[in-house]
Amino acid sequence: MAEYLEAMLNPATGGDNLLSFLLSLIWIGFLMIFFLYPSLGQRMQLSYMLRDLERKLQKLRMIKDEIGNVAVDTVKRVGRPESDPSKELERLSEFFMIQPESMDPYGLVYKLEHILETGETTYEKEVAAIAPHATETQLKTLTNLVEILRGINTLYRVVRHYYLLGKKTSNIYMVLQIQMILPQLLEIAESYRQAAVAFSKGQPIGDGVGVLVAAKLADGAEKTRYEIAKDTIVQELELENRKVYVVRAAGPGGTVGRPGEAVKLLVEKLPQNPKLIITIDAALKLEGEESGKIAEGVGVAIGGPGVDKYKIEELARTRNIPLYAFVVFESITEAITPMRESIAKAADQVLSRVKKLILDKVEGGEVAVVAGIGNTVGVGG
C-alpha cells in the first residue's frame, strides 16, 4: 500500500495514476447509488426519454400546422370563400366515422359500406360549403386534402396523448413504446406533408399507378366511356378480337371511386361471364426492395376497408371467374406523394404484361375485365 501511495505521489507518474484512481472511485460511487437506489436511474432515463419525445412532438406539431396552412391557402385560392375557412377546416379535422358493431358479423360489409358512403357524402358537402366556387374536380381534390389534415391531426393527438400520459404517470414502459415507433410515425407525418403539397397542386401520386395503367389501356376508347358507379367509369375496347372492359375512377379529381360496385354492376349486365378479372394497384414494398418493382399473382388487389374487395371476390366466387392481379411496389411515402419516375415507367411494363395475360388466357370473342385501382388525382382521360 505504501508503495502504491508513493507511486501516486511521484511527480513523474503520480498525476495519471491519481486521475485514474479518482475516476474509479466516481464510477464505483455511481454503481453503489444505482444499486442502492434503482429508481433513481429509471427516473433519469425517463427524464431523457420525455425530453426526446417533447422535441419530436414539437416537430410533429410543426408539420401539422404546415399542412393546415396549405389547406387554408388552397381553399382560399380555389374555393374563394367569403370568410376565413380556418375554423371550419379545424372542425372538419375532428370529423370521425364509427365502425359498425362486429359482434354479429352477418351483413357487416354492407353496414360498413353504408357508414363509409354516408361519411364520404357528408364530408364532400361540408368541403363544398367552405369552397363554394370550386369545380367538381377541384372539390374532390380538396376533400382529399382536408382528409390529409384530418389524418395528421389524429396522429398528433395520439402521440401527444401518450406523451402526456407517460409524463403524468411516470410510466417508463409507456413512454418507451411510443419512443420506439415515433421515427416511423414521423416518416408518415412527413409523407402527409408532401402529400398535402401534391393534392394542393393536383399532381398525380404513386397510388394512382393502377388508374394510370387503366387509362393507358383504354386510350382511344373515349367514345365508349360512361359512368357505371359513383365517380367510376367504364370504357370498352377491342384487343385482337377480345372484348376488354376497363374500369377505373374518373379523373382528374382526387377520388378512388367505387371499383367493387362498378365491376359487380358491369358483370351483371354482360351477356356472358368474363373469362377473367384483372385488378392493378400499388402495394407497400418491404425495406430493401426496389420502388417500381412489379409482381403478378391471383386475387383482388384492392386496399382500404375491404368493401370493394369483398364485392369482387363474392362475384367471382358465385360465377366462377378467375381473379388475377398486378401490383407495383412502393413505399408509403411514395404512395401518397407525387409519382416518381420509376413508378411511372412501371405503368408501361404492367400495361404490356396485362395485354399478354389477356391474349394468353382469353380466346377470341371472349370478354375480360380490367380494373385500375387507386387515387386518380391528376390522372384524366
Q: Return the domain boundaries, the chain.
A: 40-201, 206-372
CA 202, 337, 326, 324 torsion-angle sign: negative
Question: Please, which pLDDT band fits residue 125 given cuts at 50, 70 and 90?
Answer: very high
| CATH number belonging to domain 206-372 | 3.40.50.1470
C-alpha grid cell, residue 170:
411516470
Residue 95 Cα distances to 120, 122, 128, 148, angstroms: 11, 10, 15, 12
Does residue 7 carry a pLDDT above 60? no
| Arithmetic mean of pLDDT, 342-349 | 94
Given a cut of 90, is residue 47 above it in pLDDT?
no
Residues 133-161 have pLDDT tens digits of: 999 999 999 999 999 999 999 999 999 99
Could you count the other beta carbons within 10 Å of the beta carbon of residue 4?
Answer: 10
The pLDDT of residue 93 is: 93
Reference 313, options 332, 300, 296, 331; nearest CA is: 300
Please give the average per-residue pLDDT across 361-379, as a whole number: 94
| pLDDT for 32 | 66
pLDDT tens digit sequence for 294-311: 999 999 999 889 999 999
Q: If DSSP states are collapsed to H, E and C, what string results for 198-254?
A: HHHHCCCEHHHHHHHHHHHHCCCCHHHCEEEECCEEEEEEEECCEEEEEEEECCCCC
Band (pLDDT 50/70/90 cuts) for residue 281 is very high
Q: Is the pLDDT of residue 84 over 70?
A: yes
Q: How far apart are CA 292 and CA 195, in angstroms?
A: 19
> How high is the pLDDT of residue 16?
59
The pLDDT of residue 94: 93
Q: How confident is the model at residue 233 (pLDDT cuts 50, 70, 90)?
A: very high
18-40 average pLDDT score:
65
Q: Quote the CA–CA distance of 355 and 40 in Å, as a whole number.
A: 67
Q: Give yes or no for residue 1 having a pLDDT over 60.
A: no
- Surface-to-core class of residue 335, CB atoms within 10 Å of its CB (0-12 exposed, 13-18 middle, 19+ buried): buried
Q: What is the pLDDT of residue 11?
A: 54
CA distance 27 to 233: 73
Percent of the chain with pLDDT over 90: 73
Q: What pLDDT, on a 0 to 100 scale, did the predictor assign at position 5?
A: 47
Phi, psi of 338 (to 5 degrees): -50, 135
